[in-house]
Structure 1
Amino acid sequence: MKNTNWLKEMSWTEFDERRKNCDTVIIPGGAIEVYGPHMPLGSDSIVSAAICELVAQKVNAVIGPMIEVGESASLYQFPGTVKIMPETYAAITRDIMNSMIKWGFKNFMFINMHAGNVPIIGQIAREYQREYGIHCAQIDWWRFTQPNTTDICKNSGWMAHGHASECGTSVMMYLHPEYVDTTKIELVKAQNPKFGKFPDVVTYYEFRDNTYNGILGDATLASPEKGKAIVEKCVNRIVEFMKFEFGC
């Protein structure tokens, strides 16, 4: 079924009409990388598309091109992971923004599912705000869910919000249960004894040093009911911000 908010699904005449009364664009961002043995490599991109659609239903915004791969170098030891270089990601982001600015868009909301993309987007957003007078914001989704779901997830910290753990698995169970193999869901504590000992210090361990299968945390606590609660609460929070900040 055609989604009238996706740029890629509009004809050029439909888009030309839409942009007359819309100056906000949502840019989905994801990754192709290990996401446990129970979920697909494209989980971040799949979730990003779904969240963008839910947000766009509640605001006046066009969903722009998805940046489907990300800076996933730390997960490159797991088969199937695709990484792109930071400068490549930056170039793609700039080109998309340049095009959308040309067509009159002034507000950019990045709904990004992969932590490795966050600093790249942030650097460009600040630069473009100064240069073009536009407004930018970014949702670092899996970090964004943490303060907004303390009443939903049973565990706290990385056990609930670790990679492909309780939160991530719950969200996918709700949005796309067909992609979740429940027979392969596990609890995986960090294999690296140094992990978490100094959480206030930024370190650069390879992801494989902390988990043997791509799960980091307790995915056995996931449920579609939790996923529904997480998605609804977080989508409403994003919508609230966009209406306040962008007036869309």
Structure 2
Amino acid sequence: MVRYYRELTRLEMEAVDKEETVVLIPIGALEQHGNQCPLGTDEIISEAVARRIRETLDREIPDYPMLIFPPVPVGLSTEHVNFCGSITLKPDTFYHVLEDICRGLFRHGFKKIAMLNCHGGNTPIIQVLSRELRSELGLAVFMINCGVFFGNQAVKDTVTPGNVWDFHGGEMETSMILAERPELVKMETAQAGIPRKFMGNRSLTVYGPITLGWVSEEWETEDGTPIGIGGDPRGATAEKGEQIYQSFVGSIVDGLKEIRRWKDQ
């Protein structure tokens, strides 16, 4: 069964089957998401995804052994720090925060950890940590990237045709917040963002084999004002948000089934 880590007593935790239980750690960020979305967008999404995972597992695989860890609310957001409200940990700080959590879980006997990452900027640190902990401790740290721009075609198909730059703070993420916390979204302030410095390039692109460490000021409105988001959020709806959640929660649950069967020895 799926339970929340922080709700167990010490005696209940002692009784948990550490060999089989997957500890799911939602990881967000605290950073600007344009005019219309809250700073905590990624954390809100991480909690929403974790809850929907629990609901799906409870319905489809009620004996799935999982503990949902409290969300990590601040991540690596260097690219956003020049926008008011954005907070980042340093790369080594973020690494060690996650490392200390994982080592604590390992100390108590857990063998499988799944990082539910909902911010693209966190990905490189989690990838390095996963390899290091597996190499040193034999601890299996799985990476689940639930950000809406991680290649899920069904998710991308929800975007309004022509909204080709949509990713951070755009239509997809705004739709997800509308589905989860609509009172936090200020759609009347929404504007589109485009990567003007990259437009027209064939090789040097935002994401691809040739790129650089972009900063969010490079995403501008039509009049050249830095806005820090990708895409046009004005087509966002709560219905699209629910469709997006359903699409990748389904694919995550498929992955969790395989994680359950995984044996390193």
When the two structures are superposed, what TM-score results if normalisation uses the length of structure 2? 0.83
How far, CA to CA, are the matches of 2:18 and 2:103 in structure 1? 18
> Could you tell me which of 166, 177, 184 is aligned with 1:179?
184
- RMSD, aligned CA: 2.2
- How far 1:150 sits from its partner (Å)? 3.7
The 3-state SS of whatever aligns with 1:214 is coil
User: For the Cα contact (< 8 Å) 1:23–1:104, is it kept in 2?
Assistant: no
Aligned length: 243
Per-residue CA deviation, residues 66-104 of structure 1 (Å, 9 max, x unaligned), is 221111111111011111101001111111001111222
The match for 2:216 is 207
How far, CA to CA, are the matches of 2:229 and 2:79 in structure 1? 14
- How far 1:158 sits from its partner (Å)? 5.0
Deviates more, 1:199-208 or 1:38-47: 199-208
The match for 1:154 is 160
The 3-state SS of whatever aligns with 1:62 is strand
User: For the Cα contact (< 8 Å) 1:56–1:62, is it kept in 2?
Assistant: no
Pairwise mapping of residues 1-248 of structure 1 onto structure 2 (< 5 A)?
5-19=3-17, 22-57=20-55, 58=57, 59-142=64-147, 143-144=149-150, 146-155=152-161, 159-160=165-166, 162-190=167-195, 192-195=196-199, 197=201, 198-199=204-205, 200=208, 201-211=210-220, 212-247=226-261
- How far 1:187 sits from its partner (Å)? 2.4
The 3-state SS of whatever aligns with 2:150 is helix
How far, CA to CA, are the matches of 1:97 and 1:184 in structure 2? 40
How far, CA to CA, are the matches of 2:131 and 2:139 in structure 1? 10
The 3-state SS of whatever aligns with 1:138 is strand
Deviates more, 1:17-26 or 1:219-228: 17-26
Q: Evaluate the alpha carbon distance shift between residue 93 and residue 196 of structure 1 in structure 2; reply closer, same or farther with a 3 A threshold.
A: farther
The 3-state SS of whatever aligns with 2:174 is helix
How far, CA to CA, are the matches of 1:74 and 1:177 in structure 2? 26
How far, CA to CA, are the matches of 1:73 and 1:158 in structure 2? 24
User: For the Cα contact (< 8 Å) 2:170–2:230, is it kept in 1?
Assistant: yes
How far, CA to CA, are the matches of 2:174 and 2:92 in structure 1? 31
- How far 1:153 sits from its partner (Å)? 2.4
How far, CA to CA, are the matches of 2:178 and 2:128 in structure 1? 33
The code of the aligned residue for 1:11 comes to T
User: For the Cα contact (< 8 Å) 2:155–2:244, is it kept in 1?
Assistant: yes
* Unaligned segments of structure 1, at least 5 residues: none
The 3-state SS of whatever aligns with 1:139 is strand
Identity of counterpart residues, as a percentage?
27
How far, CA to CA, are the matches of 1:239 and 1:156 in structure 2? 31
The match for 2:223 is none
Per-residue CA deviation, residues 116-156 of structure 1 (Å, 9 max, x unaligned), is 21111111101112222232221222233643424322347
- How far 1:44 sits from its partner (Å)? 0.6
How far, CA to CA, are the matches of 1:205 and 1:21 in structure 2? 41
- How far 1:21 sits from its partner (Å)? 7.7
The code of the aligned residue for 1:55 comes to I
Deviates more, 1:100-109 or 1:149-158: 149-158
* Unaligned segments of structure 2, at least 5 residues: 58-63, 221-225
